[in-house]
Amino acid sequence: MQICCLDLEGVLLPEIWIAVAEHYHNDDLRLTTRDISDYDQLMQHRLKILRKNRIRLADIQGVIAGMEPLPGARAFLDDLGQQFQVVVLSDTYYEFAMPLIRKLGNPTLLCNWLTVSRSGYISGYVLRQRDGKRKAVKAFKGIGFGVVAAGDSYNDLSMLRTADRGVLFNPPDAITKRYSAFPVARDYPTLARLLKP
């Protein structure tokens, strides 16, 4: 039996932080793991901007409520589930992702948590574990599963390297050029073909 591990944002969903940036007309929130490889640096940057602009968790959840999965993502997942057990490994937060996970048919999601102040501001975050995507793939392999994986950003590379087969999905050019050993898919039919045995 094989498990397919997928990143969430950029593979199945639009980038949540970009949607928030567009809603609030704040380009400082547009940065993602496609731009900054140090996750803590990126999150500290985001938290500072949220506080400065008085954007609370409920405000972000309001933006997320209006979001939809990427076109074709639900059908892709449904088809993929015929070949694999599918697990979504993400650096996002349960407080953000759960409404969108339901729209994807409730695949298993492993991600992180937020800490929130009494006044409703995001005060910090709790990682499930550092380098959690790679460690999850390693654990699945350790209990006898074959693992294939797909992601789009710097924070997915260790997961892709650890999997039996890793595929980049719509990565930015900087990642494609630097990590050319990974096959690249630009649409779901190609991704499905590259993931399947």
Active site residues: 7, 9
* Amino acid at site 176: T
> 91: Cβ–Cβ under 8 A, 6 or more apart, which residues?
33, 39, 111, 112, 132, 133, 155
> CA nearest 152: which of 7, 3, 31?
7
Query: Long-range contacts for 165-168 (Cβ within 8 Å, ≥24 apart)?
Result: 165/194, 165/195, 167/191, 167/194, 167/195
**Could you give the 3-state DSSP secondary structure of residue 46?**
helix
> 138: Cβ–Cβ under 8 A, 6 or more apart, which residues?
162
